[in-house]
Structure 1
Amino acid sequence: MGANSRHPSDGASVLIVEDERDLAELYDTWLSDSYETEVAYSGTEAQERFDEGRHEVVLLDRWLPDISGDEVLETIRDREPNGKVAMLTGVSPDFDVIEMEVDSYVLKPVTRDELRELVDRLRHLAEYQRDVQELYPLIAKRTVLESEKTADELAVSEEFATLTDQIATKKERSRASIEATDNEDVRTLLKGEPPRKPREHDR
């Protein structure tokens, strides 16, 4: 494997940005039977390889050895504001994730099925109404914060309160679009309220 992997003719194009080579090649193996995949092992390489006309989904590590994933994200957004980007990282999110222009924030480790489902959900987002595309990343950010922050931390965060209000408003406005969504995983996330996994010091 490497920077150029198997390229199914009918698959979406996925750019994998991961500096740990074994992990990058594992992701490549998991995805390349269904998607056209390309791997970048550094932030600089990702900036060079990203093609706004070809890469539908970017899986982006936040902690890279040369430049940060945040900087790579800025480059991607400058070139393709509507591209689908997931932070796939070992860096636990703080409340600054709310302002990040990512469609999903996923903590390592992930399984093969989780990774493939993530790419599939992000691909389908582009097919939906704008209100659904705007709602999805808000709920994804709320979900990861609820899994990583304590109840007390969430309760005193003005950023989280604002996020919750935004979700409520957009869900009400997007009700018809959510019902029309034909991807079960996306619809479940948009409609549901995933239970917060308690942290040890919550108990």
Structure 2
Amino acid sequence: MSDSDEPVVLIVEDEPDVAETYRLWLEDDYEVRMAQNGDVGLEKLDAGVDIVLLDRMMPGLSGDEVLEHIREDDLECRVAMVTAVEPDFDILEMGFDAYLSKPIKSEQLVETVQNLLERSEYDSLLQEYYSLVEKQATLEATKSRAELADSDEYDRLKAEIGSLRDDLSETLGGIEDDEDFIATIRELSDADEY
């Protein structure tokens, strides 16, 4: 995220009126950056960008090519293709997180951005959770029950794991239609039974 603590959305769109419309829909809740083509989009893309709204067909560097650069550089932003190109089987090979067909409504765009941010938050929480559960498992494999019972650090670790599990469940509530996330949270609950 940027210094302003608002999530950053980068709009890469060659139609100025469309880009401006998206900006107006999002500017109250997000820091919005705009790029009129793929080359400028890559210049404005940095680790502070959370979401990229990417037009697929642009002169010069296409949205498909920009997406390839994003994934090759292992940038952690989420990408929504926002395009008039009808999806075909070629999308199966593409690394986007959402695909919106133009024209789109403000509610659809705002909801997509919110969902992608929730997924990012969930991913971060999940990584932290797994790290802590691994530490717990390591301690439980190497320390006696008495040592664990006497350890304030171990108690804090268990409390933090419980708190993260609650955060994960809460975050999951916003993306409850995603079967993969539901399966993952169930696995987390099972894995917590060390």
Normalised by the size of structure 1, how large is the TM-score?
0.62
Alpha-carbon distance in structure 1 between the residues aligned to 2:75 and 2:94:
13
Q: Supply the AA of the counterpart residue of 1:93.
A: P
Contact 1:90 / 1:107 at 8 angstroms: preserved in 2? yes
Moved over 6 A (4+): none
- Higher helix proportion (structure 1 or 2): 2
Match of 2:155 in 1: none
Alpha-carbon distance in structure 1 between the residues aligned to 2:28 and 2:4:
10
Alpha-carbon distance in structure 1 between the residues aligned to 2:123 and 2:40:
33
Contact 1:13 / 1:57 at 8 angstroms: preserved in 2? yes
1:83 maps onto 2:77 in alignment: yes
**Alpha-carbon displacement from aligned partner over 1:11-59 (angstroms, at most 9, x marks no partner):** 20000010000000000011011000000001111111111x1000000
1:127 maps onto 2:116 in alignment: no
Contact 1:15 / 1:57 at 8 angstroms: preserved in 2? yes
RMSD over aligned CA atoms reads: 2.6
CA shift, 1:189, in A, is 4.2
Q: Which has the larger radius of gyration?
A: 2
- What are the equivalent positions in structure 2 for 1:125-164 lying under 5 Å apart? 125-129=119-123
CA shift, 1:78, in A, is 2.2
CA shift, 1:9, in A, is 3.0
Q: Supply the AA of the counterpart residue of 2:43.
A: E
Alpha-carbon distance in structure 1 between the residues aligned to 2:174 and 2:102:
20
Match of 1:186 in 2: 175
Alpha-carbon distance in structure 2 between the residues aligned to 1:11 and 1:82:
16
Match of 1:162 in 2: none
1:15 maps onto 2:10 in alignment: yes
Q: Find the residue that maps to 1:180 and give its secondary structure.
A: helix
Match of 1:97 in 2: 91
Q: Find the residue that maps to 1:30 and give its secondary structure.
A: helix
CA shift, 1:180, in A, is 3.2
Aligned length: 139
CA shift, 1:65, in A, is 1.2
Q: Find the residue that maps to 2:58 and give its secondary structure.
A: coil
> Kindly, what percent of the aligned residue pairs are identical?
42
Contact 1:8 / 1:34 at 8 angstroms: preserved in 2? no
Unaligned 5+ residue runs, structure 1?
1-6, 133-178, 192-203
Q: Supply the AA of the counterpart residue of 2:62.
A: S
CA shift, 1:8, in A, is 9.6
CA shift, 1:127, in A, is 2.1
Contact 1:47 / 1:72 at 8 angstroms: preserved in 2? yes
Contact 1:8 / 1:36 at 8 angstroms: preserved in 2? no
Match of 1:144 in 2: none
**Alpha-carbon displacement from aligned partner over 1:47-74 (angstroms, at most 9, x marks no partner):** 11111x1000000000001121111111
**Alpha-carbon displacement from aligned partner over 1:124-176 (angstroms, at most 9, x marks no partner):** 1112258x9xxxxxxxxxxxxxxxxxxxxxxxxxxxxxxxxxxxxxxxxxxxx
2:53 equivalent among 53, 59, 72:
59
Unaligned 5+ residue runs, structure 2?
127-167, 181-194
